[in-house]
Amino acid sequence: MTLLKRLNIDSYVLMLLATVFLASLLPVRGEAAEAFSLATKLAIALLFFLHGAKLSPRTVLKGMIHWRLHLVVFASTFVLFPILGLLLGLLAPTLLPPALAMGILFLCVLPSTIQSSIAFTSIAGGNVPAAICSASASNILGMFITPLLVGLLMSAQAGGVSFDALGAILLQLLAPFLLGQVVQRWLGTWMVRHKRMVGLVDRSAILMVVYMAFSEAIVAGLWEQLSLQALAVMVVVDCVLLAAVLIITTQASRRLGFSQEDEITIVFCGSKKSLSSGIPMGHVLFSAQQVGSIILPLMLFHQIQLFVCAILARRYARMRNGAVEPFSS
CATH number at residue 211: 1.20.1530.20
Distance CA 144, CA 164 (A): 14
The backbone torsions φ and ψ at residue 8, rounded to the nearest 5 degrees and listed phi first, read 60, 35
- The answer to whether position 58 is within a domain reads yes
94 or 316: whose pLDDT is higher? 316
- The answer to whether position 1 is within a domain reads no
Highest average pLDDT, of 46-55, 77-86, 128-137, 290-299, comes from 77-86
Range of the domain at 56: 12-318
Query: Per-residue pLDDT averaged across 106-125, rounded?
Result: 86
- The answer to whether position 112 is within a domain reads yes
Q: What is the mean pLDDT of the chain?
A: 79
290 or 65: whose pLDDT is higher? 290
- Residue 9's pLDDT band (cuts 50, 70, 90): low
Burial 78-110 (b: 16+ CB within 10 A, else e): bebbbebbeebbeebeebbbbbbbbbbbbbbbb
Rounded to a whole number, what is the largest CA-CA distance in the chain? 61
Query: Per-residue pLDDT averaged across 73-98, rounded?
Result: 84
- Residue 131's Cβ-side half-sphere holds a number of Cα atoms within 13 Å equal to 28
Nearest alpha-carbon partner for 288 in 211, 216, 215? 216
Checking if the pLDDT of 66 tops 70, the result is yes
- The answer to whether position 153 is within a domain reads yes
Burial 188-211 (b: 16+ CB within 10 A, else e): beebeeeeeebeeebeebbbbbbb
Which value, to the nearest 10 degrees, does the dihedral of the CA atoms of residues 226, 232, 234, 239 take? 170
Length in residues, the chain: 329
Checking if the pLDDT of 110 tops 90, the result is yes
Q: Which of 21-25, 139-143, 223-227, 321-325 has the lowest mean pLDDT?
A: 321-325
Checking if the pLDDT of 15 tops 90, the result is no
- Contact criterion met (CB below 8 Å) for 56 and 181: no
Query: Per-residue pLDDT averaged across 33-58, rounded?
Result: 79
Highest average pLDDT, of 90-94, 206-210, 219-223, comes from 206-210
- The answer to whether position 95 is within a domain reads yes
- Residue 31's pLDDT band (cuts 50, 70, 90): confident
- The answer to whether position 327 is within a domain reads no
Which value, to the nearest 10 degrees, does the dihedral of the CA atoms of residues 164, 79, 268, 298 take? 40
329 or 20: whose pLDDT is higher? 20
Checking if the pLDDT of 162 tops 80, the result is no
Checking if the pLDDT of 179 tops 90, the result is no
- The answer to whether position 56 is within a domain reads yes
CB atoms within 10 A of CB 53: 23
Under 8 Å CB-to-CB from 321, ≥6 apart: which residues? none
Q: How many structural domains compose the chain?
A: 1
200 or 239: whose pLDDT is higher? 239
Measured CA angle at 305 (ends 202, 313), to 5 deg:
105
**Is 0.85 topped by the overall pTM?**
no
CB atoms within 10 A of CB 1: 6
Checking if the pLDDT of 269 tops 90, the result is yes
- Residue 278's pLDDT band (cuts 50, 70, 90): confident
- The answer to whether position 253 is within a domain reads yes
CB atoms within 10 A of CB 179: 15
